[in-house]
Amino acid sequence: MQSHSPTTPFGRRSLTLAHVASQIGASARPPEKVVHKWNIFHAICTARPRLGVSERSLSVLNALLTFHPETALTGEDDLIVFPSNDKLTLRAHGMPASTLRRHLAVLVDAGLIIRRDSPNGKRYARKGSAGEIELAFGFDLSPLVVRSEEFEHLAADIEAEARALKLVRERITLCRRDIAKMIATGIEEGVPTRRGGQGPADWQEVHAALRAMLAQIPRTATRQQLEPIADELAQLADGVLNLLQAHIKSKNPSANESQSERHIQNSNTDAPIDLEPSLQKGRAGRAEPKLQPSRVAEASYPLGMVLSACPDIVDYAKGGISNWRDFLATTAVVRSMLGISPSAWEEAQTVLGETQAAVVVACILQRGTAIRSAGGYLRGLTRKAEVGEFSLGPILMSQINSRLHEKRRA
């Protein structure tokens, strides 16, 4: 193996102290050390954000590794590869020469490779009489051996952080689903939310607290940002569960059994909450129109498309949503939860039809805190529909596009 003292780059390329440090570190690599070049490369790919290199820079490093004939990189072998720009470009999937040079400089600055330039800047090797390489000029892969433990530790830290982030996201999803279903059960069963003058005023207040917590979640959230939100959701879930448990204890078993048999469509969803109390005066005796299953078939949009645009409503379904009947039954609970008055709901069903009105409610739920008054918003859409200025299709497509955009940014 040839020995190297710190060398300077050819031409106008500058020498930095970081380059000198990389060269000194490479010269001190232990001869007995052996690493698997592709295992180290995978660790570097995982640790890429911490190393400050791009995916395209790593594709150049991958190409350089293919020019070393052995899979194992050892501390006693000469680890200099000397491909021409033409050959390196081919193995880098046709990357332009100017781009190739830029990414090679990035790898050198990151300390992943060392540039060993010849007197004229060319890459080549001089062989002895026996055919062995005596002197080579090109790119030294020694830093991969010297820093292998560092790369592996960085990769392990990033993988551990990714697992922790996944766990806290799962925790938020479970809490969100549990709270939504417990709220729906509380409304259906007529569970009071105040005991002894304490607690939230009604289920709408509980639901508003849930939406406010969910609104705090950034589009690209870190684990540190999500953990406090997950703790708040867990506390809210415990509080809602305590309300249900207290209600169960206050009822005798026979009453509980009879109440559990009621279907969600037959529950009184008008009494608990209302965002429009002034509109409800004088209409307390008006019964909410019953859903007509025969009109479900009139839907002009596939149920799958609606659920793709408004997936949050599934959280409030007792047994999932597999057909339009389930969807309509769930929106009957959500409508009351959002504070939409019976009069606004009746007008929307009359003008839009029960299915389209239910889809609009699902869209309102999906938009969360962006809509301050769900009842007022629904009345506004109903007025537009009366004069032919409302179409459900653009609203659904806007919801779908918004969700796709969030997924790309996440």
Structural domain boundaries, residue 237? 160-245
88 and 180, same domain (yes or no): no
Q: What averages of pLDDT result for each successive group of 10 residues across the chain (410 residues)?
A: 54 61 66 89 94 93 92 82 90 90 91 83 74 78 90 94 93 91 85 66 82 86 92 91 85 50 42 39 44 41 87 86 89 86 89 90 86 87 87 83 70
Whether 384 is in a domain gets the answer yes
- Local structure of 309: helix, strand or coil: helix
Residue 155, pLDDT score: 95
Residues composing the chain = 410
Domain-terminating residue out of 226, 245, 264: 245
Is residue 215 exposed (0-12), middle (13-18) or buried (19+ Cβ within 10 Å)? exposed
d(CA 335, CA 330): 9
42 and 140, same domain (yes or no): yes
**Cα-based distances in Å from 130 to 126, 127, 134:** 11, 8, 10
Q: Please tell me the pTM assigned to this model.
A: 0.63
Residue 102, pLDDT score: 92
d(CA 287, CA 162): 52
Residue 75, pLDDT score: 74
Residue 24, pLDDT score: 57
Domain-terminating residue out of 201, 228, 245: 245
Whether 271 is in a domain gets the answer no
User: What CATH number is associated with residue 30?
Assistant: 1.10.10
